[in-house]
């Protein structure tokens, strides 16, 4: 089997978590997608055996503020929100890796910069 980095290309990640899902999330949350202060992007951060490490990248939107108080509670919100659908992400990752099942765990929001915060997503295959 190919290396996981060869499987989880930018195109594959964008198909697993399409860009328009961010607008759908903010539309459901605020009633207007323009109210969102960040875009959500799925990134691949490597592997450790059967554990695949991803990140939900929160990229600040132009003219908006990506304040820590907006992002630190997100792991709990994302874990339950049907539009974010973390289980669906894990299922799509498992399918792409040739596995039938996966479990997942969201980590704590980490501030990379004022413009980028990330939420670690660990997916265990098998």
Write down the domain spans for the chain: 4-125
Q: What is the pLDDT of residue 122?
A: 98
Distances (CA, A) of 120 to 2, 30, 63: 23, 25, 25
Q: What is the pTM of this model?
A: 0.92
Mean pLDDT of the 13-28 span: 96
Average pLDDT over residues 3-25: 95
User: Of the candidates 102, 109, 44, 27, which has an alpha carbon nearest to the alpha carbon of residue 75?
Assistant: 109
Range of lowest pLDDT (8-22, 57-71, 100-114): 57-71
Mean pLDDT lowest among 1-5, 26-30, 36-40? 1-5
In which residue are the tokens 């997916």 written? 123
Whole-number pLDDT of residue 3: 83
């Amino acid at each position: 089997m190919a290396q996981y980095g060869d499987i989880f290309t930018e195109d594959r990640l964008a198909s697993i978590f399409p860009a328009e899902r961010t607008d759908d999330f903010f539309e459901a949350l605020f009633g207007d997608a323009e109210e969102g202060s960040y875009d959500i992007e799925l990134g691949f951060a490597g592997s450790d055996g059967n554990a695949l490490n991803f990140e939900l990248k929160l990229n600040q939107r132009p003219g908006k503020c990506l304040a820590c108080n907006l992002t630190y509670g997100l792991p709990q919100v994302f874990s339950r929100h049907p539009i974010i659908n973390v289980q669906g992400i894990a299922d799509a990752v498992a399918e792409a890796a040739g596995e039938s099942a996966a479990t997942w765990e969201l980590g704590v929001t980490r501030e990379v910069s004022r413009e980028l915060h990330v939420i670690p997503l660990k997916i265990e295959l098998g």
